[in-house]
């Protein structure tokens, strides 16, 4: 069993043996124990597609639509999901590294034991995304995105750039934001209730509070 720890969040990761994987380029109706490298699935329409125990590297899923189905026990590296729509699916026990979710729309997506490391979520929209278990974002760019009605308590959002991210009616209680850039974050203060910050982030939090409360700060 392979695990990693981000802050206080312990994540169960896939443990794949390359010798057990078969080279595949056709997505067809799903994948099991597959090794996929450099495949182009741009604009593909997927419904109830299930990918299990597979390694996906350098693939193109941009502008695709994936409704229902699941991604389970997979390693996904340097894969492009830009402009894709992921709806009603489950992502569980996955390590997703160096991948692009620019402008991606994630709706009613359920996450459990998922690590996003070095990924881009700029201009992405997350709506009703929920964490059913351990989830971590590390060294990710999450700028100018919109997260609404998401339930992500106790996740780790470490060393990420959150400039311009809009939070609306999100539950993040217990979330670890240490090391992340808060300057430019757009959110009512109640979305940050119960989060964990580092002392060096307090000036940015003060700026957020001043803006949220419409305060006037004068030096005279």
Q: For residue 170, what are the contacts with CB-CB under 8 A and spacing of at least 6?
A: 147, 148, 149, 150, 151, 152, 187, 191
Q: Are 151 and 172 in contact (CB under 8 A)?
A: no
Residue 217: pLDDT band (50, 70, 90) is confident
Bin 77: left if φ > 0, else alpha if -120 < ψ < 50, else beta: beta
What percent of the chain clears pLDDT 70, i.e. is strictly above it?
Answer: 100
Bin 159: left if φ > 0, else alpha if -120 < ψ < 50, else beta: left
Residue 17: pLDDT band (50, 70, 90) is confident
Beta bridge partners of 135: 114
pLDDT at residue 30, rounded to an integer: 85
Taking only the tens place, the pLDDT of each residue in 86-132 is 999 999 999 999 999 999 999 999 999 999 999 999 999 999 999 99
Regarding the domain with residue range 2-213, which homologous superfamily does it belong to in the CATH classification?
Answer: E3 ubiquitin-protein ligase SopA (2.160.20.80)
Residue 188 exposure: Cα atoms within 13 Å on the Cβ side: 8
pLDDT at residue 48, rounded to an integer: 92
Taking only the tens place, the pLDDT of each residue in 24-68 is 878 777 889 999 999 999 999 999 999 999 999 999 999 999 999
* Residue 45, Cβ density class (10 Å: 0-12 exposed, 13-18 middle, ≥19 buried): exposed
CA-CA distance, 67 to 10, in Å (whole number)? 28
Taking only the tens place, the pLDDT of each residue in 131-154 is 999 999 999 999 999 999 999 999
């Amino acid at each position: 069993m392979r695990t990693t720890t981000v802050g206080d969040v312990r994540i169960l990761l896939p443990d794949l043996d390359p010798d057990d994987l078969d080279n595949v380029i056709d997505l067809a109706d799903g994948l099991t124990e597959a090794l996929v490298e450099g495949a182009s699935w741009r604009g593909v329409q997927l419904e109830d597609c299930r990918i299990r125990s597979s390694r996906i590297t350098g693939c193109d899923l941009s502008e695709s639509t994936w409704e229902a189905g699941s991604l389970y026990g997979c390693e996904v590296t340097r894969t492009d999901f830009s402009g894709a729509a992921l709806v009603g699916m489950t992502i569980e026990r996955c390590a997703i590294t160096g991948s692009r979710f620019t402008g991606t729309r994630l709706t009613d997506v359920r996450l459990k034991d998922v690590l996003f490391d070095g990924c881009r979520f700029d201009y992405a929209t997350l709506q009703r995304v929920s964490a059913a278990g351990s989830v971590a974002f590390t060294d990710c760019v999450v700028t100018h995105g919109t997260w609404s009605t998401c339930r992500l308590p106790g996740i780790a959002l470490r060393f990420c750039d959150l400039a311009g991210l809009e939070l609306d009616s999100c539950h993040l209680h217990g979330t670890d934001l240490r090391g992340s850039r808060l300057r430019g974050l757009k959110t009512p203060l109640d979305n940050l209730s119960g989060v964990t910050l580092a002392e060096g982030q307090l000036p940015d939090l003060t700026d957020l509070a001043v803006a949220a409360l419409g305060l006037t700060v004068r030096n005279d």
